[in-house]
Structure 1
Amino acid sequence: MSGPTGAPGQPATTEYDVVVVGARCAGATLGALLARRGLRVAVLDQATEIRSTLSSNILQADSLAFLNRLGVMERLRAAGVTTMSHVDMRLEGFRCREAFPQEPGDVGGAACVRREVLDPVLVDAARASGAEVRLGTRVVGVIREGGRVTGVRAVAGGVEARLRARLVVGADGRNSKVAEACGSRMYHVSPGERSYYWTYFEGADTGPRPTFVFHRWGDRHMLGGPADNGLYIVGVSPQRHERESFRADLDGSLRAHALRCAPIAEALAGATRASRIYGIRRFFGYFREAAGAGWVLLGDAGHFKDPAGGRGIGDAFHQAERLADAVGDAIGSGVRLDRAVTEFGRWRDRTYAEYYGLAADLGVAGPIAGVVPRVVRALHARGRVDGVLNLLSHRASVLEVLTPARVLGATGGQLLGAPGRRRAALGELRRLATTELRRRNAMRRPVFQSGLAPRPVLQDTSEPELSR
């Protein structure tokens, strides 16, 4: 880092290789990875203290393995994090209880880690790696020279400073100020069809095997499982006709909904709620233009999808690792750096397009497509359900699991049935094919939308915070 300079009366200027805006799971992680490569990195966040933020808090096997590679898993365990070894999955009439598949280097199948536990550990990792972390620092604009972004203007304690950098990274979430300042446009915007609520209980009976519960049947969607520090997360998504009752009586509605899921009801017998109830509704999924001359977007700043898949944190880690490699190899040349972040954007869109569709399919109002549980049932019968479970950790692609042959095979019985069942099966196949073609065309020929993503409506109870 070069020391501050500036003419009298002008904001001081400090030089870096990379300025990262946002010190949460995307930004702090990238800061740590870049600093370990020897780069001069500043990580900025307007929060004066890293606390809880809107998040499903679910981490899959690949995320836990990444945290282990980052060297923070023991610190997280010391902070009360436990991992889950099994999954209890229900899709419509099919239900199975299985061990999470594990690969070399894995340290668990899944975990629920509240962001007030996870994010400070990542911030400390960034600092320990050599990044300069500045909390209480609000970015108010970017610096441009000759059409290129060359830094940011930031205010801390009422004093403005200029931070120059070869690259500015926007890791500042759905309503990214960096995206706005750089003129990044959204595309493939997809309105969410459901609302989601979650909270934590203490005193839950988690049984002999820590198990992640994921049940989706009819118009119901629920999850549950052990969280950090002995807590138990419960997440529910109301049916359409229940949405108004949820707003009127959030606590009673959430409890009644959760108790309709047998494994969650068993875990909660004798448990008491230990936190406020969090919620998100009227949200939008989107992609944003990922990069330009001197800037790039990371995590939710550049891409957000339906929370049904619980992949926000995992995707942030996945992207940070990829971007750190790209930037670290190209930081010495503006041309190579621009080429690297442009290719990062192409990789992001290729990688997440089908998972974006999968999350939307899981988050559809009403039941999921009937062919999905039929394919999963058939795979389970052949001892091959690991591929389905690997979808949750993005270690298998949708088309590797829901192959055309498997879809047709799972539909064959319907096609040979009564005329009504045959018509329904053919209609479902047509809808699936039409949706897939529409999604592929949307990614190949994006329709851009100016402005920020619509801000989601957040809801929580008005009672004081109960969690420890």
Structure 2
Amino acid sequence: MSTNGQAAIPSGEKHTASGHYDVIIVGARCAGSSLATLLAREGMRVAVVEQAKFPKETLSSHLMEADALLFLKRLGVLESVRETGVRFMTQVDMRLNDLRIASRFPLRFDDVGGAAFLRRHLLDSILADAAAEAGADVRMGTKVVEVLWHRQRVSGVRVQHETSETRLYAPLIVGADGRASTVAYMCGSRKYNVRPNERSYYFTLFEGAHPSSSDRFVFHRWGDRMVWAGPADSGLYLVGVSPEAHERDYFRSNTELGLMAHMRSCDSTAEVLADACLAAKISGIRRFDGYFRQASGPGWVLAGDSGHFKDPALGRGIGDAFIQVEALARVISSGLDGSGGLDPSLRRWGEWRDKRFEGHYWLATDLGGAGSFPTMVPEALRRLEERGELDRFFDLFSHRSRYYDVFPLRDVGVATGRLLLSGRCKRAPLVKEAVTLLAREPRRRWINRHPDLAASDITAAPANRPRTVEGTTPAPTLATDGSR
């Protein structure tokens, strides 16, 4: 397969074992295995390198929305997913402050369901098996120890499996290896629009939930408290909570007591779990950044959490990875067949990625913000409900509507005016809240066009990672004028 960026083996190089591929994908979870399946089915020679051995648990919300479930259907793995006992939810129970909404998810004719919780060790294994069945060379328990460069292009990776090392070569290396991406680090990809977390999240699974819960997704965010829940696979029921600011130290040493107290403070979960018991350890995430990373460079590209991560409050990690790789597979296929330049196509894909996810990035930041939930947002939703347009709001969670279309500044201003006239809220705090919100949006839209670069990741690299790699040429710096 020809390409304008053909990987080359430096003359005179000697090694004991080598492999030659069209694409090497580092990471075999949602983004990596799905991309490998799509590319292998196009007849490409694909290698997938994964440090873990599946099945293996990983930190995740385990949540997929309607668009992600539909992608699994297109990928041809839906029957394997069904065999896990996963339950596809069609009802939603939402609370935002004093606004309570009970509704059906707005499903399309070919949708499988509105949402589902599927534990990642099951989902990741299904996706990795699909990649292997499609013809990809899936190498589990294999770690990337070096990114290889030739003439200022990435040309391959040096990998280690147990005590042996191998060099793999390809015109393109895909980093799908998560937030602590080795590929991103070794290629010098810069973060931008970084937002440190303001909340922490804990979740676990219960056995013995009441059968009435089998079709309903729960999301309650009131004051500074957040609870989300729903049926998962294998007869289990997932509950997640986010402690209030003053509770965070308490949660670290009394995690189970804290989680149970929050679960019982939400009437929906308290009811369905009245006779249930814990069935798994409690997992949590306390320190993280939301970010975008430079999407690509000469001979490399990032997919999934490697290139973009948002606050987990929105639960879009899995679905967004699927959106990215489905578009990326088309770009790689056309770029590697010799019909066009691969590097420019990947740069355009990166620009598309940023544009596609910018609104949801800020929505996740707001949902995951510390303190009381903004008063005017539930009021804006009441306006949508009055106009019969609530489906547009629920479609946000399946990435089928745009944040800026659902919550235009005009509607937020009208909602604030209605609240002031109603007398339901104290005037001064409401006006301050509205001014803060209305002033923030123009700044965010400016940042969307002019990325705010973080300090180089290399300066803060973990001690166990090499600061320089022999033969490495750092990736070009992300321009601050929006070009990448």
TM more than 0.5: yes
Shift of 1:455: 10
Specify every segment of 5 or more residues in structure 1 that has no aligned partner in the other structure, as ranges. Answer: 457-468
CA shift digits 1:141-199 (9 cap, x unpaired):
11111111111111112211111111100000000000011010111111100000000
Q: Which residue of the other structure, out of 375, 388, 396, is the alignment partner of 2:380? A: 375
Given that residues 106 and 395 in structure 2 are in contact (C-alpha distance below 8 angstroms), is that contact kept between their aligned partners in structure 1?
yes
CA shift digits 1:215-242 (9 cap, x unpaired):
0000000001100010000000001111
What letter corresponds to residue 204 of structure 1 in structure 2? A
Aligned to 1:431: 436
Shift of 1:443: 2.8
Secondary structure at the counterpart of residue 209 of structure 2 = coil
Aligned to 1:252: 257
Name which of structure 1's ranges 264-273 and 410-419 shifts more when overlaid on structure 2: 410-419
Aligned to 2:221: 216
Percent of matched pairs sharing the same residue: 50
Shift of 1:408: 2.2
Change (3 A) 1:68 1:221: same
Secondary structure at the counterpart of residue 31 of structure 1 = helix
TM-score, scaled relative to structure 2: 0.90
Shift of 1:335: 6.1
1:279-318 matches, within 5 Å, as 279-318=284-323
Give me the whole-angstrom Cα distance separating, in 2, the residues matched to 1:177 and 1:209. Answer: 40
Q: Which residue of the other structure, out of 10, 15, 25, is the alignment partner of 1:10? A: 15
CA shift digits 1:334-380 (9 cap, x unpaired):
96111111111101111111111000100011122211100112212
The reply to whether residue 443 of structure 1 matches residue 448 of structure 2 is yes
The reply to whether residue 337 of structure 1 matches residue 346 of structure 2 is no
CA shift digits 1:202-224 (9 cap, x unpaired):
01114075100000000000001
The reply to whether residue 320 of structure 1 matches residue 325 of structure 2 is yes
Give me the whole-angstrom Cα distance separating, in 1, the residues matched to 2:252 and 2:228. Answer: 20
Given that residues 186 and 452 in structure 1 are in contact (C-alpha distance below 8 angstroms), is that contact kept between their aligned partners in structure 2?
no
What letter corresponds to residue 391 of structure 1 in structure 2? L
TM-score, scaled relative to structure 1: 0.93
Secondary structure at the counterpart of residue 120 of structure 1 = helix
Secondary structure at the counterpart of residue 228 of structure 1 = coil
Shift of 1:444: 2.2
What letter corresponds to residue 291 of structure 1 in structure 2? S
Shift of 1:420: 8.3
Given that residues 26 and 299 in structure 1 are in contact (C-alpha distance below 8 angstroms), is that contact kept between their aligned partners in structure 2?
yes
Aligned to 1:166: 171
Name which of structure 1's ranges 7-16 and 46-55 shifts more when overlaid on structure 2: 7-16
What letter corresponds to residue 101 of structure 1 in structure 2? P
Change (3 A) 1:206 1:372: farther
Shift of 1:11: 3.7
The reply to whether residue 115 of structure 1 matches residue 115 of structure 2 is no
Name which of structure 1's ranges 149-158 and 231-240 shifts more when overlaid on structure 2: 149-158
Give me the whole-angstrom Cα distance separating, in 1, the residues matched to 2:341 and 2:391. Answer: 40
Shift of 1:430: 2.1
Secondary structure at the counterpart of residue 441 of structure 1 = helix
Give me the whole-angstrom Cα distance separating, in 1, the residues matched to 2:461 and 2:399. Answer: 27
Q: Which residue of the other structure, out of 19, 39, 64, is the alignment partner of 1:34? A: 39
Change (3 A) 1:113 1:453: farther
Change (3 A) 1:419 1:374: closer
Name which of structure 1's ranges 416-425 and 309-318 shifts more when overlaid on structure 2: 416-425
Aligned to 1:102: 107
Shift of 1:416: 3.7
Change (3 A) 1:293 1:9: closer
Change (3 A) 1:418 1:275: closer
What letter corresponds to residue 331 of structure 1 in structure 2? L
Give me the whole-angstrom Cα distance separating, in 2, the residues matched to 1:386 and 1:107. Answer: 17
Aligned residues: 453
Shift of 1:405: 3.0
The reply to whether residue 54 of structure 1 matches residue 76 of structure 2 is no
Given that residues 313 and 368 in structure 2 are in contact (C-alpha distance below 8 angstroms), is that contact kept between their aligned partners in structure 1?
yes
Q: Which residue of the other structure, out of 229, 238, 254, is the alignment partner of 1:233? A: 238
Name which of structure 1's ranges 46-55 and 343-352 shifts more when overlaid on structure 2: 46-55
What letter corresponds to residue 32 of structure 1 in structure 2? T
Shift of 1:425: 3.7
Change (3 A) 1:253 1:424: closer
Give me the whole-angstrom Cα distance separating, in 2, the residues matched to 1:167 and 1:106. Answer: 34
Aligned to 2:68: 63
Give me the whole-angstrom Cα distance separating, in 1, the residues matched to 2:458 and 2:68. Answer: 28
Give me the whole-angstrom Cα distance separating, in 2, the residues matched to 1:213 and 1:261. Answer: 10
Given that residues 206 and 226 in structure 1 are in contact (C-alpha distance below 8 angstroms), is that contact kept between their aligned partners in structure 2?
no
Q: Which residue of the other structure, out of 393, 408, 426, is the alignment partner of 2:398? A: 393
Change (3 A) 1:286 1:334: farther
Aligned to 2:353: 348
Change (3 A) 1:382 1:47: same
What letter corresponds to residue 451 of structure 1 in structure 2? D
Give me the whole-angstrom Cα distance separating, in 1, the residues matched to 2:460 and 2:365. Answer: 17
Secondary structure at the counterpart of residue 433 of structure 1 = helix
Give me the whole-angstrom Cα distance separating, in 2, the residues matched to 1:112 and 1:452. Answer: 36
Give me the whole-angstrom Cα distance separating, in 1, the residues matched to 2:459 and 2:359. Answer: 20
